[in-house]
């Protein structure tokens, strides 16, 4: 009854000829928004409005990142991204993809954008202090912008800059060196996900759990939200009712990655697929036109200039060039040869990016409305058949016992060389074929462990689709934990989410065990004994975990300084090569690459085994001499990205890159971490309100709001908060008025 009275009250508030869709907003004890509206489009409008209410500053930043105008109020640190957004024609691609949506999906997306616009018109942004600090204000929200936010968020998700790294690696150390570094690198996003069937749970129904690993941003990249319609069919005959809880991407309608409708739940991880290509282009200017050398000879291409502003600096002008292959992201018609190219007429002087949304005008948003009303895994699978990018591995389960484990997205079919590095644009054999690669699926009867499926970016289901995958450590550890017992409940999954065992320490410790102790000083001997006896858990309160991390960092630094790797790490290394825009340097930073490939480099590669043993001994001495006795958490703290940096002190967190609790620092560079669980979820198919979730900060993106940081202690310690979907247990809040902007929070 409380929910019904609130809804009548809301209708009264929003009525009176305003012309706006009617909806009701509720919140739980954690400030998480629960939205109810009459039909699908009204619900999309409401989601947009509420997202602007809670995340106005975040939406403002995302809009300008799409347009390539963020440096105008954020300064020089954002200029590199703005240049890339313009050179890739990101906003134009979003418009193109929006125009190709079917009418129903386009109207649904436009309704979300209208909700954002109306919220800004109501002044919801006035509560966010960042606007005043940067002297900026929201300027609307175009209907195509949600597609732009998705493109902006995922443009670098597939890691096409890694092809620059592999090209440099081949040029400097030879093709044999490429497999040594064929692991997920410092710029990669990943995830854990697992599905436990009813045979292994206490309830007899499936549990689906996991955590997406992304760069931690404040406000968070995921938004907890509950979306429901009051009736089915208000906006058209046959419209299905919606009642779904999940993790939304602010700026994008629906729940693309993680959701639970009560009857079916789904979750994804990064498939680590390779679906973007770089083409080596020969460009020249002839009069007022730019030409590229393609398979049929010289051809005119699209070219124009754009200028963007930089706060505190000079305006920047970029030339936007698009060939038949794609948009130019490196070099140009007046640029010299690409790094490694000979100085002659045959040299390539540019690289063009080809990716499916730009080629086809398709992004896969047709998937999103279908997910919101899905009731079975078959309906989830049918919805994601439309998906384009990023390419994901998906798990789903329903209350009827249905199970799903498949890949989703578009992977072009082309030669294997395209996956490894830049290929010549003028060779016709490097073109994409008409049909994409087939997407693998694993029926439950084929699962290696009956009643259990795990996805952790390893070389598993999606192996035919990619080149670089995560080591198997996380996946193996999750399987070991889940197969050790039965009777799992939702609350038990925190022990899996927060597991800190670091199996990847084994190769380095095995080498340490072989070090001759005779020449070692006494502190180094003691440290060696402690590390060899260590339980290999990267617990926040573990002093030995900190000692291992310090020792590993010294090994990485000494490897980076070794003559065999000097071509990668010296002043002339890839990160310093002329011609590559600074925005790509994280993928070209050799020390970080060495850290992530440590196992391969300690068991093979260009550094001879005697040198490895000597190097490990030297690293041990150095680490012993700097031992402070601090625990791991004192060193390993969160360092989130903020568009406007604050001076907050961030918490100590357990884990490491290859732990299930994957909190990725850069060994040899810093112990701070910026990549980790961007959310956690446990979807319970027995009873949805027994599900659990958490995000790094809170539901609100407004500094000082009671729900801006209330989940941070739980998230940092691995504890979830409850999922509540019963509207009778929620607090109705009025929508904001010009006199009270905070009432809806």
- Is 648 inside a domain boundary? no
Alpha-carbon distance of 656 to 96, in angstroms, equals 41
Boundary-marking domain end, from 336, 360, 384: 360
Domain of residue 616, CATH code: 1.10.1400
Computed from CA positions of residues 406, 411, 416, 420, in that sequence, does the dihedral angle turn out positive or negative? negative
- Confirm whether 191 is a catalytic residue: yes
Condensed to tens digits (0 to 9), the pLDDT of residues 414-438 reads: 999 999 999 999 999 999 999 999 9
The predicted model gives 5-30 an average pLDDT of: 69
Secondary structure (H, E, C), 482-497: HHCCCCECHHHHHHHH
pLDDT single digits (tens) 453-474: 999 999 999 999 999 999 999 9
Tell whether the model's pLDDT for residue 9 goes beyond 80.
no
Average pLDDT over residues 282-288: 96
* Cβ neighbours around 307 below 10 Å, total: 9
Q: At which of 582, 599, 630 does a domain end?
A: 630
For residue 550, being part of any structural domain is answered with: yes
Residue 301, C-beta contacts closer than 8 angstroms, at least 6 positions apart: 283, 290, 291, 292, 321, 322, 323, 324
CA dihedral sign, ordered 356, 360, 363, 369: negative
Angle at 197 between CA 449 and CA 269, to 5 degrees: 75
Whether 241 contacts 378, CB under 8 Å? no
The answer for 210, left when phi > 0, alpha when psi is -120 to 50, beta otherwise, is left
* H or E element in which residue 458 lies: none
Count other Cβ atoms within 10 Å, centred on residue 340.
14
On whether both 626 and 510 belong to a single domain, the answer is yes
Same domain, 626 and 508: yes
Report the C-alpha gap between 22 and 9 in whole angstroms.
11
User: Residue 235: pLDDT band by 50, 70, 90 thresholds?
Assistant: very low
Q: pLDDT confidence of 743, banded at 50, 70, 90?
A: low
> Is residue 16 scored above 90 in pLDDT?
no
- Is 620 a member of any domain? yes
Q: Give the separation between CA 426 and CA 530, rounded to whole angstroms.
A: 58
Domain count, the chain: 2
pLDDT of residue 341: 85
Among 676, 684, 696, smallest CA distance to 723 is for 684
Q: What is the mean pLDDT of residues 286-300?
A: 97
Query: Which residues are within 8 A (CB) of 5 and not within 5 positions of it... i.e. 6 or more apart?
Result: none
CA distance 53 to 125: 7
| 290 strand-pairing partners | 285, 301
288 annotated binding-site participant: no
DSSP 407-448: EES--B---HHHHHS-EETT-GGGSPPSSBPPPPB--GGG-S
Tell me if 401 is assigned to some domain. no
Average pLDDT over every residue of 215-220:
97
The answer to the question of residue 337 being in a domain is yes
- Residue 299 dihedral angles phi and psi, to the nearest 5°: -140, 140
> Is 682's pLDDT higher than 50?
yes
Can you tell me the distance from the alpha carbon of 702 to that of 694, in angstroms, rounded to the nearest whole number? 18
Q: What is the pLDDT of residue 728?
A: 96
Per the structure, the complete domain to which residue 333 belongs is given by: 276-360
Asked if residue 568 has pLDDT above 70, the reply is: yes
CA dist., res. 667 & res. 675, Å (int)? 13
299: pLDDT strictly greater than 70? yes
Question: Using CA atoms, how far apart are residues 48 and 734, in angstroms rounded to an integer?
Answer: 16
Q: How far apart are CA 508 and CA 688, in angstroms?
A: 44
Using CA atoms, how far residue 357 sits from 277, 325, 354, in Å, is 13, 13, 9
Of 70, 78, 191, 664, catalytic: 191
Predicted model pTM: 0.95
Answer whether residue 75 is part of any domain.
no
Answer whether residue 629 shows pLDDT above 70: yes
Average pLDDT, the chain: 94
Strand ranges (DSSP E) for 332-431?
A: 350-355, 392-398, 403-408, 423-424
Return the number of other C-beta atoms located less than 10 Å from residue 470's C-beta: 26
Cis before 212? omega within 30 = no
**DSSP conformational letter for 78:** G
* pLDDT band at residue 745 under the 50/70/90 scheme: low
User: Does residue 174 lie within any of the structural domains?
Assistant: yes
CB 672 within 8 A of CB 637: yes
Say which residues have a Cβ less than 8 Å from residue 737's Cβ, sequence separation at least 6.
122, 743
Helix (H), strand (E), coil (C) string for 235-282: CCCCCCCCEEEEEECCCCCCCCCEEECCCEEEEEEECCECCEEEEEEC
What number of CA atoms fall less than 13 Å from residue 313's CA on the CB side? 16
Only one residue has tokens 């490097």, namely 430
3-state SS assignment for residue 38: coil
pLDDT at 237: 46
User: What DSSP line would sit under 98-127, residue for residue?
Assistant: HHTS-HHHHHHHHHHHHHHHHHHHTTGGGG
Length of the chain: 745
**Is a pLDDT exceeding 90 seen at residue 738?**
no
Q: How many CB atoms lie within 10 A of CB 229?
A: 26
List CB contacts of 739: < 8 A, sequence separation 6 or more.
Answer: none
Q: Above pLDDT 70, what percent of the chain? A: 94
Going by pLDDT thresholds of 50, 70 and 90, the confidence category of residue 232 is low
Cα 209 from Cα 490, distance rounded (Å):
9
516 labeled binding residue: no
In b/e form, how buried is each residue of 662-687, taking b as 16+ CB within 10 angstroms?
bbbbbbbbebebbbbbbbbbbbbbbe
Pairwise CA distance, residues 655 & 505, whole Å: 13
Assign residue 303 the CATH number of its domain. Answer: 2.30.120.10
Contacts of 305 (CB under 8 A, 6+ apart): 317, 318, 319, 320
Residue 11: per-residue pLDDT: 43
In a domain, 520, yes or no: yes
Q: How crowded is the C-beta side of 646, counted as CA atoms within 13 Å?
A: 15
Confidence check: pLDDT of 698 > 80: yes
Domain boundary among 303, 330, 360: 360
- pLDDT of residue 236 exceeding 70, the answer is no
Mean pLDDT within 25-32: 98
Q: Tell me: pLDDT of 15 over 90.
A: no
Which tens digits make up the pLDDT trace of 381-397?
999 999 999 999 999 99
Is the peptide bond prior to 29 cis by the omega test (within 30 degrees of 0)?
no
Tell me, what's the pLDDT at 86? 99
């Amino acid at each position: 009854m409380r929910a019904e009275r609130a809804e009548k009250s809301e209708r009264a508030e929003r009525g009176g000829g305003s012309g706006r869709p009617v909806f009701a907003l509720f919140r739980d004890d954690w400030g998480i928004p629960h939205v109810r509206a009459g039909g699908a489009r009204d619900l999309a409008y409401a989601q947009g409005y509420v997202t602007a209410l809670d995340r106005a500053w975040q939406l403002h930043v995302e809009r300008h990142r799409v347009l390539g105008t963020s440096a105008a109020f954020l300064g020089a640190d954002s200029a590199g991204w703005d240049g890339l957004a313009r050179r890739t024609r990101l906003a134009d691609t979003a418009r193109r993809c929006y125009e190709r949506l079917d009418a129903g999906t386009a109207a649904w997306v436009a309704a979300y954008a209208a909700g954002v616009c109306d919220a800004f018109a109501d002044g919801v942004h006035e509560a966010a202090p960042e606007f005043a600090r940067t002297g900026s204000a929201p300027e609307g929200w175009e209907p195509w912008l949600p597609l732009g936010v998705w493109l902006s968020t995922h443009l670098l998700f597939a890691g096409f800059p890694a092809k620059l790294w592999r090209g440099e690696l081949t040029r400097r150390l030879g093709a044999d060196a490429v497999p040594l570094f064929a692991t997920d690198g410092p710029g990669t996003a990943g995830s854990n996900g697992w599905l436990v069937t009813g045979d292994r749970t206490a309830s007899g129904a499936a549990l689906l759990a996991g955590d997406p690993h992304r760069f931690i941003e404040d406000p968070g990249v995921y938004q907890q939200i509950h979306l429901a319609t009051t009736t089915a069919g208000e906006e058209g005959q046959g419209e299905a009712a919606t009642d779904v809880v999940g993790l939304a991407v602010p700026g994008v309608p629906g729940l693309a990655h993680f959701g639970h409708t009560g009857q079916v739940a789904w979750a994804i991880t990064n498939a680590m697929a390779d679906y973007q290509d770089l083409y080596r282009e020969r460009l020249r200017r002839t009069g007022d036109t730019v030409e590229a050398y393609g398979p049929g000879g010289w051809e005119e291409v699209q070219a124009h200039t754009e200028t963007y502003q930089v706060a505190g600096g000079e305006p920047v002008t970029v030339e936007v060039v698009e060939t038949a292959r794609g948009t130019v992201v490196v070099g140009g018609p007046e640029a010299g040869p690409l790094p490694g190219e000979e100085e002659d007429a045959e040299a390539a002087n540019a690289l063009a990016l080809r990716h499916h949304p730009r080629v086809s005008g398709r992004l896969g948003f047709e998937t999103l409305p279908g997910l919101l009303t899905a009731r079975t895994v078959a309906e989830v699978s049918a919805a994601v058949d439309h998906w384009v990018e990023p390419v994901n591995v998906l798990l789903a389960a329903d209350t009827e016992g249905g199970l799903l484990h498949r890949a989703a997205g578009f992977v072009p079919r082309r030669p294997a060389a395209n996956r490894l590095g830049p290929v010549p644009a003028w060779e016709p054999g490097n073109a994409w074929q008409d049909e994409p690669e087939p997407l693998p699926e694993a029926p439950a009867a084929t699962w290696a462990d009956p009643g259990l499926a795990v996805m952790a970016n390893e070389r598993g289901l999606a192996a035919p689709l990619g080149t670089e995958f995560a080591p198997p450590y996380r996946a193996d550890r999750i399987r070991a934990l889940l197969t050790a017992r039965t009777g799992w409940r939702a609350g038990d999954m925190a022990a899996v989410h927060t597991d800190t065992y670091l199996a990847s320490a084994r190769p380095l410790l095995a080498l340490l065990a072989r070090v001759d102790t005779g020449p070692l000083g006494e502190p180094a001997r003691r440290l060696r004994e402690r590390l060899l006896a260590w339980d290999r858990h990267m617990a926040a309160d573990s002093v030995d975990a900190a000692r291992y991390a310090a020792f590993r960092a010294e090994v990485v630094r000494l490897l980076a300084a070794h003559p065999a790797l000097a071509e990668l790490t010296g002043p002339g290394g890839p990160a310093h090569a002329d011609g590559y825009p600074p925005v790509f340097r994280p993928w070209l930073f050799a020390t970080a690459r060495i850290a992530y490939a440590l196992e391969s480099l300690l068991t093979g590669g260009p550094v001879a085994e005697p040198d490895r043993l000597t190097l490990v001994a030297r690293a041990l001495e150095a680490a012993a001499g700097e031992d402070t006795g601090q625990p791991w958490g004192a060193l390993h703290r969160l360092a989130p990205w903020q568009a406007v940096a604050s001076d907050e002190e961030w918490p100590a967190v357990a884990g490491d890159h290859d732990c299930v609790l994957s909190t990725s620092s850069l060994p040899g560079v810093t112990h701070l971490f910026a990549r980790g669980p961007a959310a956690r979820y446990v979807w319970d198919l027995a009873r949805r309100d027994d599900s659990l979730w958490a995000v790094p900060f809170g539901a609100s993106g407004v500094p000082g709001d009671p729900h801006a940081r209330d989940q941070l202690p739980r998230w940092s310690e691995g504890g979830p908060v409850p999922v509540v979907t019963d509207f009778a247990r929620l607090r109705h809040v009025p929508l904001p008025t010009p006199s009270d902007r905070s009432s809806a929070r």
